Amino acid sequence: MGNFRRVPVGIVGASGYGGVQLVRLLMEHPEVELVYLGGESSAGRSFADLYPHLAHLVNLPIEPVEPDVIAHRCEVVFLSLPNGLAYQIAPQLCAKGCKVLDLSADYRFSDLRTYTNWYGGQRTDDTIAATAVYGLPELYRDRIAEAQLVGCPGCYPTASLLALSPLLKQGLIVPESAIIDAKSGTSGGGRQGKINLLLAEADNSLGAYGVVNHRHTPEIEQICSDLAGHDVKVQFTPHLIPMVRGILATVYATLRDPGLVRDDLITIYKAFYRHAPWVKVCDNGTYPQTKWACGSNLCYIGVEVDPRTRRVIVMSAIDNLIKGQAGQAIQCLNLMMGWDETLGLPQLGFYP
């Protein structure tokens, strides 16, 4: 007889968009059992009160966040919290043997000074932070498999880095020439009420925000520098677009070899991602759309070359709440547990 034991899993911060995506995906994962949902502002309420459409499947309360209780009941804990909260409880959970996946920015940086410069706060968790692995499986699959603590990437960095990685890793571009023009649906701003996310404000409008100082910039630059082998600066500009979910990142960079053509780059991308089940490189002349990825853990990549300007243009489309957040965290969990990387994750999106 096989082992039918399921791994007990908990979510801290279950009431937000990241949390509800985790709940939906984990409820359908064949190897885990969701046993704990935690939160502060919603503690004492049932999850069904917050999301009535899941009441027929999820019969769990939102409980206070008590690390001792969580560690006693859970082997794996997802932290779906605002920045600055995960590092207050992750060290306690790790010390008690839990595997921890943090969806905030708290454990994405190898140098905590970078974190405090961009996010503030007083960090005292240097020791445990030094063990954290950046949770982009397409680049750090082996490290994630051995990790106890994973800092899951942001949604913009996921789309941007998957577009840039083959170019930087193989030295095909002038690194400092990279420009990232990215657009996100409103769910990327979270579930808390914000004026700029009101229908009357966001609908029929498109605008940039966080120009030159968006917090995802140092995260992107950290991984770009790792790939290139030296410090890299990129120009990153995010935009809010009037749709609910999805990110399209369009990346421009100057090629070192002006003789490279589109077919060459597509061949290089397909070879680079040949072992990446969640990255799909489009054929010649096909450019990805956010709708293709909606509801799935897929990233679609399209590549074009402009011989006139010697630039490569790479387009990357993901669902910001799945591959850009909850789905990618579960992809990391699969690696940490030695399971198939695709287990429990949606391979088909919603269309149309």
Encode 63-73: b = buried (16+ Cβ within 10 Å), e = exposed.
bebebeebbee
Tell me the three-class secondary structure of 163-192, residue by residue.
HHHHHHHCCCECHHHCEEEEEECHHHHCCC
Two tokens, residue 273: 């991602």
Sign of CA dihedral 227, 94, 339, 26: negative
Q: Are 18 and 326 in contact (CB under 8 A)?
A: yes
Q: At what angle do helices 155-169 and 262-272 cross, to 10 degrees?
A: 110
Per annotation, catalytic residue among 155, 224, 282, 332: 155
CA 126/CA 138 separation, integer angstroms = 26
Is position 155 annotated as part of the catalytic site?
yes
> Hunting for tokens 């990790």 — which residue is that?
147
- The residues assigned a catalytic role are 155
